[in-house]
Structure 1
Amino acid sequence: MPHSEHPTPRGNTPNPDADISTFWWNINQPRQKWTLECPAYLLGQSEKNMGILMKRDDDFKRFSWEECEELVKTNNIHHFQRSSSQLRGYLQYVHHLKKTYGSVLTYIQRERLHWDTVTPSADAPFRDASDYRILYNDWPYFVEEGIRHLVVWTKFLIDENPETGEVLPEANQQIENFIRATFCEGPDDKMVPRERIVWFKNWKTLKSVHALAQDCNIVS
């Protein structure tokens, strides 16, 4: 049976007679960027994302180093977030990648990692340099200046508890050894003190790319 919909100003197909300045995707945007329809790259956003996008950047406080340490230590990494302008840029960028490459996965593997295959070697994790790649996060969270967010992409899976998602002790030690060997050992002018590094592995529910092995995030 045919039916009609009656959207509110928070809907994606608003009443054309309504004040478009009140539509959630126009809030916090200059007047010349206001649109009657929700931009394609913002369709289907969660309540959390809509709430962030409706705030001004001045409403956000950058995460301090101590706060980063605490979020990782307490396994509350879902509290990391971007500012309004960062999130808008990120969502627009992801939309562009999907239109251009078909998927974010294809872009990352082809253009950022330059991997022809994601099949790992037969070596133990982190033993073969071709099995991993260290990149800066293109869209880091809203952290204080001086804090750097790196992402370690791996072809191999990082062993975890299937029920909790927590990294298993052996895998945890492998990551720890890798961090020390890569960032904490060597010439003094290039060495990062271990206490100035925290790392976390993204939960599967938080990953925007699910098919490309696992990633380990290092904040220093």
Structure 2
Amino acid sequence: MSTPTPSPTTTPDPNTTTTPFWNTNLPPPLHTPTCPPYLLYALQNPKDRAILATPDALCPRHTWPQVQRLIATNRLDSFRRVPSELRRYRQLTAEIVAEHGSVRAFIVKERLGWEGTEGGSGGGMFECEADFKILPNDSPYALAPCITHLVVWTKFPLPCNPGTAGTEDLTPAARAHISAFVDKTFVRDCGEGNVVWFMNWRSLKSVHAVEHFHVMLFEAPEGFVGGVTGG
């Protein structure tokens, strides 16, 4: 029988060798007897708790065929981050909320530089270059080194049909517009089999108030990513 994970207010038994999930991937001097507030959510999130309890060296990386399959079968909930990256992401999110009030405020002002212009030009999807921005994903999934993870942020809405359990899908018109944009911006230079895109279900989004979708590239040509992200 495995040793139970200590509660966030309980000091682990010094006679056991079990490491609480919140101390995994940390050097011993940084271990804490209780779970830090930004990881308390994992006590009710079995998937993330299991990830956080895994040593980085044992974390498998998503291969390109796996990425293609997960997106083609709409298994977006199966994407995972490297354990230490997930910890960093959760800690950074908590710090951003404390300093800026919300992740949205930080993204709009600091990351996108859109404060005061969030309404956009009022034109159609992708008609005005000032209405969208392509950036590297600051907290990418556990991907093979040959895969690049980008995010396309938009000032215009990305309409979805009603769905259940937070899995609403894009309308056919919105999907067609995004597909045309991806073909023009990415596929033309990277090759049809080397580009996939998806928009997370509402229940999986970490930033709800700023529209965005994800693009992944396999073995992107040298200099291409710097070109589309503006360096």
Structure 2 match to 1:34: 31
Structure 1 unaligned regions, length at least 5:
1-7, 186-190
Q: Against the structure 1 CA distance between its residues 25 and 123, is the aligned structure 2 distance closer, same or farther, given a 3 Å change threshold?
A: same
Query: Distance between the aligned counterparts of 2:12 and 2:128, measured in 1?
Result: 61
Is residue 21–residue 49 contact of structure 2 (8 Å, CA) maintained in 1?
yes
Structure 2 unaligned regions, length at least 5:
218-231
Structure 2 match to 1:168: 171
- Select the residue among 6, 9, 12 that pairs with 2:8: 12
Query: Distance between the aligned counterparts of 1:210 and 1:150, measured in 2?
Result: 17
Structure 1 match to 2:191: 193
Query: Distance between the aligned counterparts of 2:12 and 2:72, measured in 1?
Result: 50
Deviations 1:20-49 (A, max 9, x none): 864331244321111122212212222221
Asked if 1:52 corresponds to 2:51, the answer is yes
After superposing on structure 2, the runs of 4+ consecutive aligned residues of structure 1 that deviate more than 4 Å are: none
Q: Which moved more, 1:155-164 or 1:73-82?
A: 155-164
Q: Against the structure 1 CA distance between its residues 121 and 22, is the aligned structure 2 distance closer, same or farther, given a 3 Å change threshold?
A: same
Aligned-residue Cα RMSD (Å) equals 1.8
Query: Distance between the aligned counterparts of 2:146 and 2:81, measured in 1?
Result: 16
Structure 2 match to 1:131: 131
Q: Which residue type is aligned with residue 152 of structure 2?
A: V
Query: Distance between the aligned counterparts of 1:162 and 1:201, measured in 2?
Result: 15
TM-score if structure 1 supplies the norm length?
A: 0.87
Is residue 184–residue 194 contact of structure 1 (8 Å, CA) maintained in 2?
yes
SS in 1 for 2:198: strand
Pairing of 1:1-220 with structure 2 (within 5 A): 9-14=5-10, 16=11, 18-19=13-14, 22-45=19-42, 46-116=45-115, 117-163=117-163, 165-185=168-188, 191-212=189-210, 214-220=211-217
Deviations 1:111-162 (A, max 9, x none): 1100023213221101111111111001110111121011001111112211
Q: Against the structure 1 CA distance between its residues 10 and 184, is the aligned structure 2 distance closer, same or farther, given a 3 Å change threshold?
A: same
Q: Against the structure 1 CA distance between its residues 165 and 31, is the aligned structure 2 distance closer, same or farther, given a 3 Å change threshold?
A: same
| CA shift for structure 1 position 96 | 1.5
Structure 1 match to 2:225: none
Q: Which residue type is aligned with residue 194 of structure 1?
A: E
Q: Which has the larger radius of gyration?
A: 1
Q: Which residue type is aligned with residue 78 of structure 1?
A: D
Q: Which residue type is aligned with residue 168 of structure 1?
A: T
Q: Which residue type is aligned with residue 195 of structure 1?
A: G
What is the percent sequence identity of the aligned residues?
36
Query: Distance between the aligned counterparts of 2:48 and 2:35, measured in 1?
Result: 14
Equivalenced residues, count: 206
Q: Which residue type is aligned with residue 127 of structure 1?
A: E
| CA shift for structure 1 position 103 | 1.3
